[in-house]
Each structure stands twice: as structure tokens, then as C-alpha cells.
Amino acid sequence: MGIIDLKVKNIIENNAPSGNGEETVYEVLKLMIKNKKSCFIVLSDKNRIEGFLTLYDILDKIIPYFIKIDNLLNFISTNTFLSKEKIQKVSSLKVKEIMTKKVYCLNEEDDIVKAIVLMYVKNFDYIPVIDKNNNYQGLITKSKVEKTLIELIQSF
């Protein structure tokens, strides 16, 4: 089997945490740790993707944007930007309040090349996978794609 023949459905992972979006950020962080994934998928009661939350989205609410783009952080004390109150406020937010609503998805029948291009062009670590009826099927991860590529290369 060549790389062109390899379908996304062959490397889907099903251990991503998910819920209805009513969970708090704190609850989701615990699930991320438990499942060893830094993302959370918000699903409707019909198993359709309504949103996506990553650890980056959460950090974006805690750490001001200008800190992330400043390459000279050695002169900035990040403690001046963090407070117990701010962290508690973000931790108590509902996922629906801060999730990404425009979610890039792959179809389970897409070839892995499409996944590679999307992951590296958009710098995604995770992409949800749906079936032909738009039902959530699982997640494709950058680490799984890289592992699969290494295995393919080694097989030649």
C-alpha cells in the first residue's frame, strides 16, 4: 500500500475527550491530561461536531496575545500578567464560551496526503474526522501521521 492509497480512516484515534460544551475549562483540562490529548471535541446529541477546543485556546484566554508574539520575553515577567483571579475565571468558563466554532475536518475517506497538507499548512496537531453523513468518527493526530510516514518509509 502506498501513501496515496492510505485513507484517514486507517489512522483514526478514538481517545479524544468530547462532550456537549457545558463542561468547564477546568473539567476539560483534567480530561485532556487523562486522555493525553490537548484538545476537546464538542458534539451535538446527534454526534455532529459543534466546536473544538485546544490547550492553545485556553492559554490564549490566560496569557495576553502580545506576550506570545514577543520574542524578547527575557525582559518581561509573565507573573505580572497572571493572577489567581484570572486563572480561576478562565477555569470556570464553559467550553462553549471559548471553543472554536469553525472546525476544519477531514472525511474518513480522504487520503493521508490531504491530512498531511492540512496539518502542516495550518499547523494543526489534531483534526477531527467525520463520515459521509457528517458524524464524528474520531481524530487524526500529527504524531500518528508522522509515525505512519516513518513506517511507510521503513517498509521500502
pTM assigned to the model: 0.83
Q: Cα 99–105–108 angle (5° rounding)?
A: 140
Which residues contact residue 47 at a Cβ distance below 8 angstroms, ignoring those fewer than 6 apart? 135, 136
Residue 138: pLDDT above 90?
yes
CATH number at residue 11: 3.10.580.10
For the record, the C-alpha cell of 23 comes out as 463542561
Tens of pLDDT along 68-85?
Answer: 555 555 555 555 566 788
Q: Which pLDDT value is given to residue 86?
A: 81
Total structural domains within the chain: 1
Q: Which pLDDT value is given to residue 72?
A: 54
Cβ(128)–Cβ(10) under 8 Å? no
**pLDDT > 70: percent of the chain:** 85
Q: Cα 144–48–130 angle (5° rounding)?
A: 35
Tens of pLDDT along 15-51?
Answer: 899 999 999 999 999 999 999 999 999 999 999 999 9
Mean residue pLDDT of the chain comes to 87
Tens of pLDDT along 94-111?
Answer: 999 999 999 999 999 999
Structural domain span for residue 100: 3-154
Q: Which pLDDT value is given to residue 115?
A: 92
Phi, psi of 146 (to 5 degrees): -65, -40
